Amino acid sequence: MGDTAFVLGNGESRRGIQIEELKAHGTVYACNGVYRTDTPHYLVAVDPKMLLEIGETDYAINNKVWSNYNAQYAKHKKILDHVQWFKPSLGWSSGPTALRMACDHGYKDIYILGFDYQGHSQGAGFKFNNVFKDTRNYKRAKDEATFYGNWMNQTKRCLKDFPLIKFHRVIPKDWFTPKDLTWNENLSHPIKEDFVKQFNLTIKS
């Protein structure tokens, strides 16, 4: 295991970043619908709807999937036989759970992508922001954005509990950053374009 990890939420700020390219530079943790398009080193899916969807496929047979045990999985042999369980459960969302998992694995640098903490501004409200919007088990693009407070608080807990890790939240220029994430000494906010150059990545259109 190297010194670098990449943790991907599914916010649209990470659109165009290719997981296979990231895997050449470190360990990749991702969540939920990513299994449809890519194979990260670790997939975290704590939402029961998503894990049941994954259980309809052979993905967990051949790849590492982590979740929280739920009694409704008792009749699903693929899930019981191949999914690995967090013990104890954090009770967190999938993205921050993946971040915590990476922290526990002891990297020096963790790059966080797709942790957007806010929807798209549209009129008086914010609309759902996710690369998998309008697909099975996800909200519609026109739906109201999911409240980001839990994600932010769970991220802050990782920053506090692991002060020696350097966290880098990769965002496009002028992207939203919650005020609570601007004071952390171990968190930087590199611009996506600079990150792409740093790791010699190719943006997929």
Exposure letters 162-181 (e unless 16+ CB within 10 A, then b): beebbbbbbbeeebbeeeeb
Paired sense of beta strands 65-67 and 84-85, if any? parallel
- pTM (two decimals): 0.93
Give pLDDT tens digits for 108-134.
999 999 998 875 555 456 777 888 999
* Region 4-33+93-198: CATH code: 3.40.50
Give pLDDT tens digits for 154-164.
999 999 999 99
Counting residues of the chain whose pLDDT is more than 70, the rounded percentage is: 96
